[in-house]
């Protein structure tokens, strides 16, 4: 199964040049049953990353292009009256897919953004008094542009908290960008991708991740970091217990990716900025001084007591 995980990442790298870490983090969230928010400028490959991941696992891929006039029914679906049967029939929306791309999610109204809340947390939607479960696996990757703010609706804290990880793509290096041009010279490499893992194998991997061992001292280490975010003077609102759970599950998936059946402190330290940063709300004066959530987390992690001794004894 470790080879299956590596094959997914290698398959994505056929399209995404120099984005191995982004691919790894995306797979971590998918294996942990979470969702990802991709934030970066246009044209760096956010949409292509999602499409490559969907093709690699042979999943049903759905795309939602968020616009200011998009309605919640455009996301979850709508019941339409059928005059032949004299009954209302449900027409499912694009949210009922295995891997869903929510493109430019901050361009639609909060009313439509909230249509994602139940589906992302509960893997189900409610319509006409009925609850419809979304087939597993279910994985949402949303993108947003941090540069343009005109005509956008910033995601509320409750919506941000639903994303397990927030990832930034970044620009490629000069050598990587030349390779991008070379591969796209005649046709897009995304068209040549084949699936390297079945949905049944992906579900099996997700179940195996749940069995990755997390020692109590590691859980206490996660809680120590989470509680510290609530006590920093520059922070208006620290992370919630949901964030602690997300970090534990992401650490389990990362340990599985490293071919281990247990979590170590290094897993927690590596993933904490990706899991916690977007959940921390800074005070206005901290933002004016240029302090970032990542800087605060690095400071907290450096001061936290790492449970090394107990592992050395074992």
Task: Choose among 35, 300, 309: nearest CA to 162.
Answer: 35
Q: Note whether 263 and 188 are same-domain residues.
A: no
Task: Choose among 281, 243, 245, 282: nearest CA to 161.
Answer: 243
Report the number of distinct structural domains present in the chain.
2
Q: Residue 44: inside a domain, yes or no?
A: yes
Q: Residue 82: inside a domain, yes or no?
A: yes
Check if the beta carbon of residue 164 is closer than 8 Å to that of residue 29: yes
Q: Cα angle vertex 252, ends 248, 253, to 5°? A: 120
For residue 166, the surrounding DSSP H or E stretch is: strand 165-167
Residue 86 region by backbone torsions, left for phi larger than 0, else alpha for psi between -120 and 50, else beta? left
How high is the pLDDT of residue 270? Answer: 95
How high is the pLDDT of residue 150? Answer: 67
Q: Note whether 161 and 241 are same-domain residues.
A: no
Q: Residue 310: inside a domain, yes or no?
A: no
Task: Choose among 248, 62, 209, 247: nearest CA to 141.
Answer: 62
Omega of the bond prior to 137 within 30 degrees of 0, cis? yes
Question: What is the tens place of the pLDDT at every residue in 57-80?
Answer: 988 889 999 988 899 889 988 888
Q: Which domain holds residue 241?
A: 211-303
Q: Residue 200: inside a domain, yes or no?
A: yes
Q: Note whether 133 and 269 are same-domain residues.
A: no
> Structure pTM?
0.90
Q: Note whether 29 and 115 are same-domain residues.
A: yes
Nearest-angstrom CA–CA distance, 67 and 89: 26
How high is the pLDDT of residue 191? Answer: 81
How high is the pLDDT of residue 314? Answer: 45
Question: What is the tens place of the pLDDT at every residue in 258-313?
Answer: 999 999 999 999 999 999 999 999 999 988 998 999 999 999 999 998 887 554 44
Q: Note whether 194 and 248 are same-domain residues.
A: no
Task: Choose among 97, 80, 100, 77: nearest CA to 89.
Answer: 80
Return the structure tokens found at 238.
Answer: 């620290």
The residue among 160, 183, 204 that closes a domain is: 204
Q: Note whether 47 and 138 are same-domain residues.
A: yes
The residue among 166, 183, 204 that closes a domain is: 204
The residue among 204, 224, 255 that closes a domain is: 204
Q: Note whether 112 and 224 are same-domain residues.
A: no
What's the CATH code of the domain at 185?
Answer: 3.40.50.300
Q: Residue 311: inside a domain, yes or no?
A: no
Q: Note whether 228 and 178 are same-domain residues.
A: no
Q: Note whether 269 and 123 are same-domain residues.
A: no
Q: Note whether 90 and 116 are same-domain residues.
A: yes
The burial class, CB within 10 Å (0-12 / 13-18 / 19+), for 252 is buried
Q: Cα angle vertex 308, ends 307, 313, to 5°? A: 115
Q: Residue 314: inside a domain, yes or no?
A: no
Q: Residue 23: inside a domain, yes or no?
A: yes
The three-state DSSP-derived secondary structure of 31-62 is HCCCCEEEECCCCCCHHHHHHHHHHHCCCCEE
How high is the pLDDT of residue 208? Answer: 94
Q: Note whether 150 and 299 are same-domain residues.
A: no
Q: Note whether 198 and 228 are same-domain residues.
A: no
Nearest-angstrom CA–CA distance, 262 and 198: 25
Q: Residue 290: inside a domain, yes or no?
A: yes
What's the CATH code of the domain at 266?
Answer: 1.10.8.80
Flag residues of the chain having pLDDT under 50.
311-314
């Amino acid at each position: 199964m470790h080879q299956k995980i590596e094959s997914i990442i290698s398959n994505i790298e056929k399209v995404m040049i120099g984005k191995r870490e982004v691919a790894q983090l995306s797979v971590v969230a998918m294996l942990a049953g979470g969702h990802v928010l991709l934030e970066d400028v246009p044209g760096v490959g956010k949409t292509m990353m999602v499409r490559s991941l969907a093709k690699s696992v042979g999943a049903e891929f759905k795309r939602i292009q968020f616009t200011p006039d998009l309605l919640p029914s455009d996301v979850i679906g709508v019941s339409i009256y059928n005059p032949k049967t004299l009954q209302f029939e449900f027409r499912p929306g694009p949210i009922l897919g295995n891997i869903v791309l929510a493109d430019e999610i901050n361009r639609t109204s909060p009313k439509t953004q909230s249509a994602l809340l139940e589906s992302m947390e509960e893997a189900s939607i409610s319509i006409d008094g009925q609850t419809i479960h979304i087939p597993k696996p279910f994985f949402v990757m949303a993108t947003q542009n941090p540069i343009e703010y005109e005509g956008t609706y910033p995601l509320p804290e409750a919506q941000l908290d639903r994303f397990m990880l927030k990832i930034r793509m970044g620009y490629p290096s000069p050598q990587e960008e030349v390779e991008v041009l070379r591969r796209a010279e005649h046709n897009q490499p995304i068209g040549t991708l084949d699936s390297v893992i079945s949905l049944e194998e992906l579900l099996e991997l997700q179940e195996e991740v749940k069995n990755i061992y997390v020692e109590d001292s590691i859980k206490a280490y996660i809680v120590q970091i989470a509680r510290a975010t609530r006590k920093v003077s520059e922070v208006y609102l620290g992370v919630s217990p949901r964030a602690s759970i997300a970090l534990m599950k992401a650490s389990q998936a990362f340990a599985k990716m490293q071919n281990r059946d247990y979590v170590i402190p290094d897993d927690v330290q590596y993933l904490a900025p990706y899991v916690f940063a977007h959940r921390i709300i800074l005070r206005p004066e901290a933002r004016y001084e240029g302090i970032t959530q990542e800087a605060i987390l690095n400071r907290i992690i450096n001061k936290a007591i790492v449970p090394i001794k107990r592992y050395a004894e074992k």
